[in-house]
Amino acid sequence: VRKKTGSGIVYRVAMHNKEESGPQDGDAAPALSHYALCRYAEWEERISAWQSPVLDDRSLPAWYKSALFNELYFLADGGTVWLEVREDSLPEELGRNVCHLCPTLRDYGRFGYLEGQEYRMYNTYDVHFYASFALIMLWPKLELSLQYDMALATLREDLTQRRYLMSVVMAPVKRRNVIAHDIGDPDDEPWLQVNAYLIHDTADWKDLNLKFVLQVYRDYYLTGDQNFLKDMWPVCLAVMESEMKFDKDHDGLIENGGYADQTYDGWVTTGPSAYCGGLWPAAVAVMVQMAALCGAQDIQDKFSSILHRGQEAYERLLWNGRYYNYDSSSQPQSRSVMSDQCAGQWFLKACGLGEGETEVFPTPHVVRALQTIFELNVQAFAGGVMGAVNGMQPHGVPDKSSVQSDEVWVGVVYGLAATMIQEGLTWEGFQTAEGCYRTVWERLGLAFQTPEAYCQQRVFRSLAYMRPLSIWAMQLALQQQQHKKASRPKVEQGTGLRIGSMFGPKEAMANVSPE
């Protein structure tokens, strides 16, 4: 991991210092090697200093320390490219819409990593939603660069007709003002030819636009970069406007379309659902916050009204007293317990929202849902030692209605564990995540090739996958927990109350980034 991470840094330096030795001269590799050999000792010292606070923390289990740092292998080993971008290579008419796009790409380059070594698409966005915690916490400028690229792709369109495999319907490759599924195939022209994914027409997916909005605000919150927020604001408005057409009955809550129209692309969802239905009010709540920051009172009022109606509809249609139903259809699986049902709350808490005045989902409901997931999806599955199965029927039998509902998705489990930690269920969170680590790294022997999914019967799918980088969301949740404890009022003799430092933008980055 050290050598790979270090070489990634060196590659960028060698490319940037063309006056010394450029790739056009054919001697970039010797220059790269020379640079590394002269600096490796310093890098090792800095890596040790960065890792020591975690490695020396006796309250953290050894398996977690291993997973936290070693899952980073994929950032270098995931078919990764890091490219310089010439300013004259960007379309002027699009570049003008996001003012700091050109400076960001010029200074930090263009970053791409594959969804998986078997799933050959760069920056697959519904999956990057989970993995992005590693980038924003460790290399935040690369995350912002990736976001600028995604914004640029959003404003473009490619009306070339092609046939999609699942529906056998002809539709455009890319429509304007919707988030691209991916930035392209490495065997084609990525960044120029986007949406290599052919299974579904993702312009009709319900989660991509929402995940962009949530990530934009999370990235702003953790970096405090106001220029980034200003640039992304009109793009967020555009994609949310596109998303509103999915609220067919105008009750403030979107509906799924009766097919697998989200990251679970083999698991059919109909009507209001726990997953996409939960991402929607979370994204709307974030739009309210961004509108306030951008001084757009009319837009703030508009989304506040949608949020109020959407919250009511979500609770009325999906909450059953123990958890949120998978969806509101009449199918038997509609009552399934989905392990990922609190994804919206997960991102809200990561952004410092989701409680008190900014509460979207009632806290008792969130905690009860997480407890139910732990009882059924974790403990009642495979003896409680394999993580959380995606779908579990309320009577304790895995949901086998699809090829994905009875799988365990490692990256989803790490995100679930982070959500549990955020809500005070820290022991449950570590127990849940440990099952994945033990299964992948010890029982299956898949170290440094963590799969997307596995089943109870030792069947796994898509080795070396992006999503498990979400383990860094657990680290963020732990840091937020520590900051919250430090911020509580303390009584000191003779001085009354003293307030500790507050946790906010930028402070989340303290003592975590190797930069």
Per-residue pLDDT of 317-340, as tens digits, reads 999 999 999 999 989 899 999 999
384: left (phi over 0), alpha (psi -120 to 50) or beta: left
What is the percentage of the chain residues whose pLDDT exceeds 90? Answer: 82
Residue 1 pLDDT: 30
Q: How large is the average pLDDT for residues 4-16?
A: 39
Q: How large is the average pLDDT for residues 467-492?
A: 84
Q: What is the mean pLDDT of the chain?
A: 90
Read off the tokens for 344. 């919206």
Residue 38 pLDDT: 97
Residue 98 pLDDT: 76
Residue 101 pLDDT: 85
Residue in this structure with the two tokens 């010797």, named with its chain if needed: 30
Whether this prediction's pTM lies above 0.85 is answered by yes
Residue 93 pLDDT: 58
What is the tens place of the pLDDT at every residue in 202-253? Answer: 999 999 999 999 999 999 999 999 999 999 999 999 999 999 999 999 999 9
pLDDT band with cut points at 50, 70 and 90 for residue 92 = low
Residue 12 pLDDT: 42
What is the tens place of the pLDDT at every residue in 336-392? Answer: 999 999 999 999 999 999 999 999 999 999 999 999 999 999 999 999 999 999 999
Distance between CA atoms of residues 109 and 124, nearest Å: 18
Q: Is the pLDDT of residue 411 over 70?
A: yes
The answer to whether 181 touches 140, Cβ cutoff 8 Å, is: no
pLDDT band with cut points at 50, 70 and 90 for residue 150 = very high
Q: How large is the average pLDDT for residues 125-143?
A: 98
Q: How large is the average pLDDT for residues 505-513?
A: 47
Q: Is the pLDDT of residue 86 over 90?
A: no
> In terms of pLDDT, which residue wins out, 506 or 381?
381
What is the tens place of the pLDDT at every residue in 15-30? Answer: 444 444 455 777 889 9
Half-sphere exposure of 258 (CA within 13 A, CB side): 2
Q: Is the pLDDT of residue 506 over 80?
A: no
Residue 132 pLDDT: 98
396: left (phi over 0), alpha (psi -120 to 50) or beta: left
Residue 28 pLDDT: 86
DSSP letter at 172 equals E
**Following DSSP, what letter does each residue of 433-502 receive, concatenated?**
HHHHHIIIIIIS--TT---SEE-TTS-EESSSBSGGGGHHHHHHHHHHHHHHHHHS-EEETTTEEE--PP
Q: How large is the average pLDDT for residues 39-56?
A: 96
Q: Please choose, from the candidates 333, 436, 437, 453, the residue with its C-alpha nearest in 3D space to the C-alpha of residue 378.
A: 436
Cβ density class 65-98: b for 16+ within 10 Å, e for less: eebbbbbbbbbbbbbbebeebeeeebeeeebebb
Helix (H, G, I), strand (E, B) or coil at 82: strand
Residue 100 pLDDT: 85
Read off the tokens for 71. 């899952």
Read off the tokens for 210. 């929402």
pLDDT band with cut points at 50, 70 and 90 for residue 96 = low
Q: How large is the average pLDDT for residues 439-449?
A: 96
> In terms of pLDDT, which residue wins out, 103 or 33?
33
What is the percentage of the chain residues whose pLDDT exceeds 70? Answer: 89
Distance between CA atoms of residues 284 and 303, nearest Å: 6
Q: Following CA atoms 292, 293, 298, 303 in sequence, which dihedral angle do they give, to the nearest 10 degrees? A: -60
**What are the C-alpha distances in Å from 138 to residues 123, 234, 383?**
17, 27, 35
Residue 513 pLDDT: 52
In one-letter notation, the amino acid at residue 297 is Q
What kind and span of H or E run contains 115? none
Q: Is the pLDDT of residue 266 over 90?
A: yes
Residue 94 pLDDT: 57
What is the tens place of the pLDDT at every residue in 159-180? Answer: 999 999 999 999 999 999 999 9
Residue 15 pLDDT: 42
The helix/strand count (H/E) of the chain reads as 17, 13
Residue 509 pLDDT: 45
Least confident of 2-11, 63-72, 277-286: 2-11
Q: Is the pLDDT of residue 201 over 70?
A: yes
Contacts of 3 (CB under 8 A, 6+ apart): none
In one-letter notation, the amino acid at residue 287 is M
